Amino acid sequence: MEKTAFVTGGSRGIGRAVVRRLAGAGYAVGINYLQSRTAAEDLAAEIRVQGGRALAVQADVADRAAVRAAIEQAVEALGPIALLVNNAGIAQNDLFQDMPEELWRRMFAVHADGAFHTIQAILPRMLHEKEGCIVNVSSIWGLRGAACETAYAASKAALIGLTRSLAAELAPSHIRVNCVAPGVIRTDMVEALGEETIASLAEQTPAGRLGTPEDVAKAVAFLAGPEADFITGQVLTVDGGFIL
């Protein structure tokens, strides 16, 4: 039977690759976006042309009411959500001592509160069904920490703590919660660093290249799939060996 997935930040980068991969695996997909309406709607149309089902839904994941409305819209059009991928994210690059309070709060609002909002919205149905899967997209910086990315790293670490705690709480209900921790993945977020930095990051990666959004999408699909049905509370690093 066709299952429904909901992917936050599905309009670009890693999220878009996850959406394509899940649609290819037979999921109907709710594609959440913040601003990139055309990109999200084009992606939904692309999936429909290929015979799949998809719907683009706008919501700032930091906004609890907007998230609930977007998820309701997706459920109405596509059916109850069996797989949630919390991927929406934003980058940061500032010295901690200069960081405005709003930036600190925004990082946590998008990465930590965002997952809180989506999970609370989909969980009652998963608990009722005693089935479901959640994959959170953290970062290697959430595992290791990174200078000038303190709010980013701390909020991504929060997502790891949420993953592990919730996995323990929900395992008896047959709901799995896992995390992927991407390394440096070539998306708009990384393009902003400039060619020189990108080349140096590729050089520092033992695998000799940066990751692609598809590298991460494959890991998400694995954690969501039946091969991973006894795996919960784990953080799967997808970084070509960057933090080894």
User: What are the catalytic residues?
Assistant: 152
Q: Which stretch binds ligand NAP (CB under 6 A): 49-57, 69-77, 116-124, 187-195?
A: 187-195
Under the criterion CB under 6 A, does residue 227 sit at the interface with ligand NAP? no
Q: Any contact of residue 237 with ligand NAP (CB under 6 A)?
A: no
In angstroms, give the least distance from the CB of 129 to ligand NAP.
26
- Options 129, 188, 227, 229; binder of ligand NAP; rule CB under 6 A: 188
Question: At residue 45, what is the residue type?
Answer: A
Q: Which stretch binds ligand NAP (CB under 6 A): 10-18, 48-56, 68-76, 93-101?
A: 10-18
Helix (H, G, I), strand (E, B), or coil: what is residue 93?
coil
Q: Tell me the DSSP string of 152-192.
A: HHHHHHHHHHHHHHHHHHHGGGTEEEEEEEE-SB-SHHHHT
Of these, 25, 69, 77, 90, which contacts ligand NAP (CB under 6 A)?
90
Query: How, if at all, do strands 54-58 and 81-86 pair?
Result: unpaired
For residues 25 and 33, what is the distance between their CA atoms, to the nearest angstrom? 21
Report how far residue 19's alpha carbon sits from residue 30's, in angstroms, rounded to the nearest whole number: 8
| Residue 222 φ then ψ, to 5° | -60, -50
Interatomic CA distance for residues 33 and 201, integer angstroms: 28
Judged by CB under 6 A, the residue of 52, 89, 233, 240 near ligand NAP is 89
**Residue 240 interacts with ligand NAP (CB under 6 A)?**
no
Build a one-symbol-per-residue string for 11-40: x at contacts with ligand NAP by CB under 6 A, - elsewhere. Answer: xxxxx----------------xxxxx----
- Using an 8 Å Cβ cutoff, are 28 and 78 in contact? yes
Task: Please name the residues in contact with 27: beta carbons below 8 A apart, sequence gap of 6 or more.
Answer: 2, 3, 4, 5, 52, 83
Residue 187 within binding range of ligand NAP, rule CB under 6 A = yes
Q: Is 4 in the site for ligand NAP (CB under 6 A)?
A: no
Contact 28, 1 (CB under 8 A): no
Cα distance between residue 207 and residue 25, in whole Å? 27
Q: Which of residues 91-110 bind ligand NAP (CB under 6 A)?
A: 110
Q: Please tell me whether residue 121 binds ligand NAP under the rule CB under 6 A.
A: no
Residue 61 or 236: which CB sits closer to ligand NAP?
Answer: 61
Minimum distance between the CB of residue 32 and ligand NAP, rounded to whole angstroms?
6
Which residues would be at the binding site for ligand NAP (CB under 6 A)?
8-9, 11-15, 32-36, 60-62, 87-90, 110, 137, 139, 182, 184-185, 187-190
